[in-house]
Amino acid sequence: MADDDTRTMIRLDRVSKSYPGQAEPAIADLTLEVRAGEIVVLLGPSGCGKTTTMRMINRLIEPTGGRVYFDGEDVTAVNADHLRRRIGYVIQQIGLLPHLTVGANIAMVPRALGWDKKRTTARVTELLDLLGLDPRTYRKRYPKQLSGGEQQRVGVARALAADPPVMLMDEPFGALDPIIRDRLQDEFLALQKKIQKTIVFVTHDIEEAVKLGDRIAIFGTGGRIAQFDTPAKLLTEPADDFVASFIGSGGAVRLLGLSQVADLPIEDVRTVASADASSGPDGALTLLVDDGGAPVRWLRGASGVAGRPAVVRPSQSLYEALDAMLAAHDDLAVVVDDDGAVRGGLRWAAVLHGTGTEAGSRT
Amino acid sequence: MTAATVRTTAPARDGRLRGWAGTVVTPLLLLAVVAGLYAYLHAQNLDDIERRSLDRDVILRLLLQHVELVAVSSVVVIAVAVPLGVLLTRPGLRVAATPILAVANLGQAVPSIGVLVLLAVTVGTGFRMATLALVLVALLSVLRNTMVGLTGVDRALIDAARGMGLTRTTVLFRVELPLAVPVMLAGVRVALILNVGNAALATYTNAGGLGTLIQAGIALNRLPVLLTGSILTAVLALAVDWFAGVVERVVRPRGL
């Protein structure tokens, strides 16, 4: 397993791309390593070369210099069509073929690889299930009969059809409305936990990059990588002014989204099952719980008064924990487990001290 | 399925029903026109010349010649223009597209009677020459629509297909051509109508067709002959258009 973590899946070695008639190369001497199973986000303003870099991995754009390695193999000169069948490809415009059904769209690469019908059909069913689309309903539909979110799910399913080890995703959620985008990002992370692909993800949205990336490569001007680091490192220690300005203000707040409640210490909270038994010893925090152990209200809270508690789960981010505390006007949030039973209390101060230091150690 | 459920399923299906209704009405109308012509001719006191020109066998032979001219020239147009259009939209040959389109434009700008006569003078007369003239005149609409249809295919679709590892040939046959079919068919339809009309001129170069009746009607000053020739030509044009419409509906890829 440890061996797998350090295996390099994609390596760009001093790759460059210049176009005839342009003095400045679009990409200059770019070196990038992507490890197996991680999500690397290429982030930057438009025109910075992030998409060009991604498209040189599957050679939709041929590099004019340098070498591209795929799982240790030099693929700079192999048959590009065959190479691309080993790499999933998802784009913002989705690109589902409108004259083919969802099933036929997903089956394109298996067909090109010469799979037999039975195997292809089984794979399509499996993928539709995986992406949360009922195969009986969706297999025979045409793309225009789907919503934008459903179409992009099919787009991801199509990219996964031949089970490629690597996926390239070019702003796949960029054209969706914010609510759908957020949901698809969550689903995408859950999916990635299951399938463990090596993913190169292009975006210009810092929030998306921080949320999805295991590591982020920020592109500066002239097709160079300004910084390549974990999201926490990027937010706390920007390498230069360009990176700092691109991240902009609010970096500290974004860090909150990177750590979970479970990363921080929680303190004991006294719980009682009935309001009559209220008077605890020496004014300790006292929380009224119902029969299932779920919090009902403070009998004596941290702010000294009774009221509805802020409730968070260990899997929630510190951002959500602070949000809950602000909403409840309380500097202590009640942490509950997945069944809703009280596990303890999380202090505002603990969040303040915990941010940033633990941020690197998520997963 | 009851009528009520049909109405509630989808507006698309409703539109399709209306479309099919149109395909039934047109042939009925055309039959009515032909029947009217027949009745009109019977009501006339036809003289010898008219009777000879309007003999059933003569009309059938001319009609057949006309259809043959249209069919052969249209097949040749498609066989030449579609592959040419495909070639001219490939990356390497795109530079040649503009000059070739200019030449094709010229072919269409010259009046068809001019092309016919010019060819008759330089090449000769007869069926083959008339076919060649029809091809030259109708080629452009299919060529241009093939190119427009192919270049109009969303680049993102081609990008996605190429990114998946489909070869250029597969992309052409599985993505570009199917998506260009509606535009290409529109061009074919225009070519067919052009051919029906221009084939009526073929009589001047001794290639027969319904134009023979029109020419005879004018030359001999016989209105029934002239009317028969022109009405049958018009009916044939509309019938061909109707047929092309039916084909278009069947061939058009679903899901568009």
A86 CA: distance to closest CA in chain B (Å): 8
Q: How far apart are CA B170 and CA A94, in angstroms?
A: 19
Q: For residues A356 and B197, which has the higher predicted lDDT (pLDDT)?
A: B197
Determine the Cα–Cα distance for residues B165 and B212; give it in Å rounded to an integer: 57
Mean pLDDT of A157-167: 94
Chain A contact present for B256, CB below 8 A: yes
pTM of this prediction?
0.79
Nearest by Cα to A328 from A306, A351, A359, A352: A306
- Which amino acid belongs to residue A255? L
DSSP symbol at A317: B
Q: Chain A partners of B170 at a C-beta cutoff of 8 Å?
A: 112
Strand arrangement, sheet containing A65-70 = A27-35, A8-17, A65-70, A73-74
User: Which residue of B162, B163, B255 is in closest CB contact with A98?
Assistant: B255
Which of the residue ranges A129-143, A259-273, B28-42, B209-223 would you say has the lowest mean pLDDT? A259-273
A43 close to A230: Cβ distance less than 8 angstroms: no
Q: Which tens digit of pLDDT belongs to each residue from A334-352?
A: 898 888 888 888 888 888 8
Q: A-chain residues within 8 Å CB-CB of B173?
A: none
* B165, B174, B255 member nearest A85 (Cβ): B165
- DSSP letters spanning B215-255: HHHHHTT-HHHHHHHHHHHHHHHHHHHHHHHHHHHHHSPTT
- What tens digit of pLDDT does each residue of B52-111 get? 888 889 999 999 999 999 999 999 999 999 999 999 999 888 888 888 888 877 777 778
> Of the candidates A85, A91, A99, which has its C-beta nearest B178's C-beta?
A99
Q: What burial letters (b/e) apply to A202-240, b meaning 16+ CB within 10 Å? A: bbbebebbbbbbbbbbbbbeebebbbbbbbbbbbbebbe
**What single DSSP character describes residue A293?**
S
Does the CB of A93 have a partner CB in chain B at under 8 Å?
yes
Cβ contact B165–A112 (<8 Å): yes
pLDDT of residue A258: 80
Average pLDDT over residues A71-92: 92
Query: How far is the C-alpha of A266 from the C-alpha of A275, rounded, in Å?
Result: 24
Per the CB < 8 Å rule, is A91 touching B170?
no
Per-residue pLDDT tens over the stretch A292-327: 788 888 876 655 556 788 889 888 888 888 888 888
Given a cut of 90, whether residue A220 has pLDDT beyond it is: no
| Mutation target among A59, A70, A108 for the B interface, most CBs of B within 10 A | A108
* Span of A134-143, A274-283, A298-307 with lowest mean pLDDT: A274-283
Confidence of residue B188 (pLDDT cuts 50, 70, 90): very high
Sheet containing strand A286-289, strands side by side: A270-272, A286-289, A295-300
What is the DSSP secondary structure assignment for residue A140, as one 8-state letter? T
Of B154, B163, B174, the CB nearest to A60: B163
Q: What mean pLDDT is reported for chain B?
A: 86
Helix (H) or strand (E) holding A41: strand A39-43
Please, which residues have CB within 8 angstroms of residue B225's CB and are 6 or more apart in sequence? Answer: B49, B50, B53, B54, B213, B216, B217
Task: Look up the ipTM and state it.
Answer: 0.76
